[in-house]
Structure 1
Amino acid sequence: MKTFRAFLRLAAPFWIGRARPRPWLLLAATVACSLGFVRVSVAINAWNKEFYDALAAFDAGAIPGLAAAYAVYLTLAVVAIAAGNWFLKRLAFDWRDWATDDHQRRWLGGHAHYRLRFGDEPDNPDQRIAEDIALLAELTLELFRSFLVNVTRLGAFVAILWSISGTQTVTLAGTDFLIDGYLVWIAVVYSAVSTLLMHAVGHRLLALKIDQQAREADYRAALMGVRNWSEQIAFHRGEAAELVRLSCRFDDIRRNWHALIGREFRIECFSAAQMRVAWFIPIVAILPLYLQRTITLGDMMQAQNAFSSVLDGFSWVLTYYRRIMEWAAVVRRLQQLNDALERTGLPSHSAGHGTGAGDGGGTVDRPFAVRPVLCIDGVDIVSPAGRPLLSAVTARFEAPAHVRIDGPSGCGKSTLLRVMAGLHPCRSGTLSVGTDAMFLPQHSYLPNDSLRAVVSYPSERPFDDRAIAWALGRVGLARLSAELDRHAEWSTLLSGGERQRLGFAQLLLHRPGTVVMDEATSQLDEESSIAMYRLIRDTLPDSLVIAVTHQLGLAMLFDRSIDLRPFLVEACGVGEPMPCPLGG
């Protein structure tokens, strides 16, 4: 029941919270095709009686008409199945499309994808969005359609089976009992016992499915880590260590896989045996009536077909047990992701998204102002781990100004910038930055896209090619102007210094009123670093520039500074020397 409630929370926004009728129309078309298929199945069941009666009577003249009728039924069945599948797939993709967009927006909104790293982030949120959403839509609709077909067939064929069964007399302890529709009762008892036994055999499958998805995703993430950090691994000669790491991840898959196939082997053995017995039961049950010439061969074959349909209806859980467990695992994983996103509890603080309060009690505001202003008033800052770093930080700077944030290593300079960006909550106080602030981290993100889109990032639309060529030329990357259409992994093709120069090109194109930089020239030599900062000073003369840098040669380029030493909660930096445990 807990899983079903979680499913309703996931599905309700798509089915109830939307005004478009398209999903309901597609669902109605799918239901119509399924009901049409059931109606054809009932007609084929009646055809079975006529066909086998004709065979028993050696009535050759009836065969051509029966064959033609069967061809019509077959055509209708194929059309109902094919059309139903098409409608179902369209509906599944519409559901996936909507749910993917919803989860992407929530994952990226308010920097949730970043904040999750510092909480109880569920494993592999990317896999849950990319794969589990698709599985949720596909499995839900598959199970719904199969349940609908089986229940409808059950209602249609129970009446047929009941009439064929007639009334039978059973004697127990000298007392006669009249049983109406005895074949129906046999199907009910047999399916109930089979379902209980199946659950006893396969109840552990749910946990194994969840573990398998998680371990497969962990292994893929480890492989991606090797690919993303291949140069660093090669420099460290770390291939042997990575091989051990990957082998350990795959060992986790292997152990769970053995447990999974062992459980599925038991389920398949039981399911195969149950299906064979189910086919034989109606023949044995009705054979005495046929031998007594009470019913015809056609009646017996019709009864066998009807019994199978009734049994399928009663045994739906048994038949789809593995798919239900897979569906439940997907629901659990997506619900964990949704719960984690809800627990972030912080609205977006990105530029242009208004005002919000962090869960730490402080606020980060971006009020509209003609002239960009940085205002820090009594801000307390803690590390992501919760360790107090800075207390009652207070400062105010107004553009145009170039402000350097100073302090010993590890005192919280970068954390202060994260608070400005809305990535990290301040425990108390207020902090205001410009409405169009642009942040330039030490390691710029370069998406796998065309160079035009990379230089224009984070703009949703690329800048004019002439403007891009101008910006690349100003930062010393003019050679790249001829490669604007090239799609590549630029983060691996460009050196660290080139990536940082590209970040400055982005600043020149966006021309923000407030620029916040965290070691933005750490991979450039001092001469090149000075040139980049002077470029910003000359090109953006009216901007407020705030920077953290350990390059002493850049100090002359700043006209203001914030010294964080007076605001330190505790001493930070290099600790006392300790003897090496390895000796020497």
Structure 2
Amino acid sequence: MRGFWGLMRAYWFSNRWREAWALAAVIALLTALSSKAGVWFAEASGELVNSIAFFHDAANTSPLTTLLTNAGWLVLLVVIKDAVITGARTLVSATLHRKWRGWLNSRFNEALLDPNHTHFHAQHSSDAGAPDNIDQRVQESIKDMTGGAIGLAMGVLAVATSLFFVGQKLIADSTEVAGLEFLGDYGSAVLALVVVAAYVPANTWIAMKLGGMLERLSVRMQQAEGSYRGELTTLLRRSFHVAASRGENVQKAMHDRLYSDIDQTWSRLNRVNAGYSSFELVYNFVGARIIAYTPGLVPFIHNRIDLKGYITGAELVNSLISQCSWFIHVMPAIATLRANSRRVIELAEAIENVRQPAEFYRQTGQSDFRYTQQNPVFGLTIQHLELMQKGADAAPFLTTERLRFRRGEWTFLKGESGSGKTSLIKAINGLWAYGRGTVVFPEGVKTFYAAQEVKLPPVSLKELVCLPDTPDDHSDTKAAAALHHAGLGEFIEHLAEGSREGHSWDQILSGGQKQKLIVARILLQQPGLLFLDEATAALDPDGKTAFHQAIKDNCPDAIVISVMHEAIAPRSATGSEFYHSVLTIADGIATKKPLVPTLPAELTTILANPPVRSIAKTPPQEDGWLRITRMRLRQK
């Protein structure tokens, strides 16, 4: 769907083409009927004016009856044209708008949420071309673009049908015009068409210039509105942090600055809109009251046509001007259409660019990651991995040699802040842009990534527990058991609820409870490869122990790679180690070694400074366990 026309025709050549063309055909038929009704309206107007003009004529034997009859026919035509035909066309066009928008929305959702994580790459492409305010583009811009396109097509069709029907009637009623005798009986029709052709295009050119200004300002307004709305949305997510740091003044200044951009753009947009409105009003008056009555004036003066013919001809010309002026009347809408289509096209192009992430990132740096699979008995293997930043000549900031993680092995990943711990986890999962190396996953093993910050979508509690699976993939009993083992048993009775007392689960659950919810997901899905990226940061020491113990008990064969800020890996309540190895990042190099068990600080102090027994004449015999412990400390 690259380009404007590609975006416009995609729906009409999709698997929904029958629906699209059927609705479009109905709209075309109703538009043609509306144009034909315009001709009938002009004739009825001429009859009514004629009955008024000759009301006192001696030849008119029933003036009141004629007047009322003509007025009744005119009112009936108005009802048929505006209430029946136009109303039906509005309903069908609104249905087409809804269908088209729904199809486009589904296409963008499918493209953004594909297995390649396009939504992630589109926003984190490290490129100035990354689209801003994707939510606004998918919702508002698509809605306004499709509605504007349908309106534009209806207007073009109305112009074409009006030219046919009105032109046909003008030619049928045409007569000779003094000074244009060489045109014969087509004089008045040609004169009417020439007047319309001279008046409408010149003013359309002016309207297009003003429309260009409106388009640019509309795009700028959308960007400013989107930035302000995005900041307000972010504030709602971090309102606690703003309150705790007393950052309201800084936040308010930021809002004022963003709204100032909206206000200034809005002011310029209002001035252009006001100017366009004034231009349109003057144009309409001149067209309806002067231009429309000019072509028939000469033959009327020379008695070539009567008053009825003159009024009918003027109404026909007015109808033709009105229909041909449709571009002028909707130029602001066309400007908005172009602005919205530009926003949607930019998003479509960004999506298309990152559909193949590796090829996209190679344009701005080195991106040569390979992801393959092997027999699950060999676990996870990483070979010669190098992580880089954007740039063709960028040097690696993190390097690893061959790393192997056995089935059931727990690895503690540690390093200073900014050393690249999270970057390494992202690269293993295919979420880092630049670098090279090979990652070999165990075949057929489910992978689970648990991050520090947990965002919960507004769905039922069971759906939250089952993510990324669907609720149908797991029974209520299994979901409840997972919640119980994770320490969230008090919420089991609310499993089917999407909220409680008007609040979503994201608002109800604390940070620690959200991380326990992650445990419930792990217990339910039984992943064979688990990445914990500071997933216990919101838990107290006992909570961290329970977190690890639940995984240890229920996922005995899982490979676990965990990022934590602790200097020492957590242990079980009995003092046994959860982790088997430690992966340390220092000076840009990641090295993996077996984990050397440590002793509590109190015991280490006692062993380093044993108590002196002054009454003993011979050295006391050490307890066997203490002797072994002392030897291990010396070895360390």
Tell me the TM-score normalised to structure 1 length.
0.88
Amino acid across the alignment from 1:326:
T
Give the direction of change, closer, same or farther, for the CA distance of 1:201–1:384 in structure 2 (3 Å limit). closer
Cα distance per residue 1:199-254 (max 9 Å; x no partner): 34443111101001111111111211221111111101111211111111111111
User: Does the 8 A contact of 1:162 with 1:183 survive in 2?
Assistant: no
1:562 to 583, 588, 598: 583
The residue correspondences of 1:461-540 to structure 2 (distance < 5 A) are: 461=471, 463-484=474-495, 485-487=497-499, 488-540=503-555
1:33 paired residue number: 30
Distance apart, 1:332 and its partner CA? 0.7
Q: Which runs of 5+ in 1 are unaligned?
A: 349-355, 570-584
User: Does the 8 A contact of 1:436 with 1:512 survive in 2?
Assistant: yes
2:604 paired residue number: none
Deviates more, 1:262-271 or 1:147-156: 147-156
1:340 paired residue number: 350
Distance apart, 1:197 and its partner CA? 2.4
The residue correspondences of 1:86-97 to structure 2 (distance < 5 A) are: 86-97=91-102
2:8 paired residue number: 11
Distance in 2, Cα, partners of 1:132 & 1:362: 36
Cα distance per residue 1:42-66 (max 9 Å; x no partner): 2222222333333333242434543
- Does 2:413 align with 1:405? yes
Distance in 1, Cα, partners of 2:154 & 2:299: 36
Distance apart, 1:560 and its partner CA? 2.5
Distance in 2, Cα, partners of 1:565 & 1:207: 51
Paired residue secondary structure (1:388):
coil
2:602 paired residue number: none
Q: Which runs of 5+ in 2 are unaligned?
A: 572-576, 591-636
Amino acid across the alignment from 1:443:
E
User: Does the 8 A contact of 2:207 with 2:328 survive in 1?
Assistant: yes
Give the direction of change, closer, same or farther, for the CA distance of 1:505–1:421 in structure 2 (3 Å limit). same
Distance apart, 1:196 and its partner CA? 2.0
Distance apart, 1:480 and its partner CA? 1.8
Paired residue secondary structure (2:432):
coil
Higher gyration radius (CA): 2
1:581 paired residue number: none
RMSD, aligned CA = 2.7
Deviates more, 1:280-289 or 1:437-446: 280-289
Cα distance per residue 1:308-357 (max 9 Å; x no partner): 12223433322221111111101111111111122224369xxxxxxx99
Amino acid across the alignment from 1:554:
P
User: Does the 8 A contact of 1:372 with 1:543 survive in 2?
Assistant: no
Give the direction of change, closer, same or farther, for the CA distance of 1:315–1:21 in structure 2 (3 Å limit). same
1:327 to 313, 337, 343: 337
Distance apart, 1:164 and its partner CA? 4.7
Distance apart, 1:292 and its partner CA? 4.1
2:87 paired residue number: 82
Distance in 2, Cα, partners of 1:261 & 1:318: 18
Deviates more, 1:457-466 or 1:237-246: 457-466
Paired residue secondary structure (2:296):
helix
2:53 paired residue number: 56
User: Does the 8 A contact of 2:479 with 2:524 survive in 1?
Assistant: yes
User: Does the 8 A contact of 1:157 with 1:306 survive in 2?
Assistant: yes
User: Does the 8 A contact of 2:178 with 2:298 survive in 1?
Assistant: no
Amino acid across the alignment from 1:517:
L
User: Does the 8 A contact of 2:42 with 2:316 survive in 1?
Assistant: yes
Distance apart, 1:11 and its partner CA? 2.4
Paired residue secondary structure (1:378):
strand
User: Does the 8 A contact of 1:209 with 1:329 survive in 2?
Assistant: yes
2:136 paired residue number: 127
2:423 paired residue number: 415
Deviates more, 1:16-25 or 1:95-104: 16-25
- Does 2:417 align with 1:396? no
2:169 to 154, 160, 163: 160
User: Does the 8 A contact of 1:188 with 1:314 survive in 2?
Assistant: no
User: Does the 8 A contact of 1:154 with 1:309 survive in 2?
Assistant: no
User: Does the 8 A contact of 2:35 with 2:161 survive in 1?
Assistant: yes
Deviates more, 1:76-85 or 1:132-141: 76-85
Give the direction of change, closer, same or farther, for the CA distance of 1:219–1:408 in structure 2 (3 Å limit). closer
Aligned-pair identity in percent equals 23
Deviates more, 1:365-374 or 1:447-456: 365-374
Give the direction of change, closer, same or farther, for the CA distance of 1:384–1:535 in structure 2 (3 Å limit). farther
- Does 2:445 align with 1:430? no
1:100 paired residue number: 105
User: Does the 8 A contact of 1:519 with 1:548 survive in 2?
Assistant: yes
1:352 paired residue number: none
Cα distance per residue 1:89-127 (max 9 Å; x no partner): 111111111110111121222222222233332220110
2:373 to 357, 367, 373: 367
Distance in 1, Cα, partners of 2:37 & 2:113: 49
Distance apart, 1:532 and its partner CA? 1.1
Deviates more, 1:418-427 or 1:323-332: 418-427
Deviates more, 1:479-488 or 1:209-218: 479-488
Distance apart, 1:31 and its partner CA? 0.9
Paired residue secondary structure (1:431):
strand
- Does 2:161 align with 1:136? no
1:312 to 300, 306, 322: 322
Distance in 2, Cα, partners of 1:124 & 1:425: 22
Give the direction of change, closer, same or farther, for the CA distance of 1:97–1:201 in structure 2 (3 Å limit). closer
Cα distance per residue 1:273-321 (max 9 Å; x no partner): 0110111223244335434433222112211211112223433322221
Distance in 2, Cα, partners of 1:413 & 1:480: 34
Give the direction of change, closer, same or farther, for the CA distance of 1:387–1:280 in structure 2 (3 Å limit). farther
Amino acid across the alignment from 2:241:
Q
Amino acid across the alignment from 2:105:
T
Give the direction of change, closer, same or farther, for the CA distance of 1:553–1:376 in structure 2 (3 Å limit). closer
- Does 2:77 align with 1:73? yes
Paired residue secondary structure (1:564):
strand
The residue correspondences of 1:203-352 to structure 2 (distance < 5 A) are: 203-281=212-290, 282-346=292-356
User: Does the 8 A contact of 1:379 with 1:426 survive in 2?
Assistant: no
Distance in 2, Cα, partners of 1:332 & 1:567: 43
User: Does the 8 A contact of 1:358 with 1:364 survive in 2?
Assistant: no
2:561 to 515, 529, 546: 546
Distance in 1, Cα, partners of 2:2 & 2:299: 48
1:353 paired residue number: none
User: Does the 8 A contact of 2:447 with 2:529 survive in 1?
Assistant: yes
1:21 to 18, 21, 37: 18
Give the direction of change, closer, same or farther, for the CA distance of 1:284–1:13 in structure 2 (3 Å limit). closer
After superposing on structure 2, the runs of 4+ consecutive aligned residues of structure 1 that deviate more than 6 Å are 175-178, 384-387
Paired residue secondary structure (1:283):
coil
Amino acid across the alignment from 1:96:
R
Distance in 2, Cα, partners of 1:432 & 1:358: 21
The total of aligned residue pairs comes to: 556
2:620 paired residue number: none
2:574 paired residue number: none
Amino acid across the alignment from 1:373:
G
Amino acid across the alignment from 2:280:
S
User: Does the 8 A contact of 1:133 with 1:334 survive in 2?
Assistant: yes
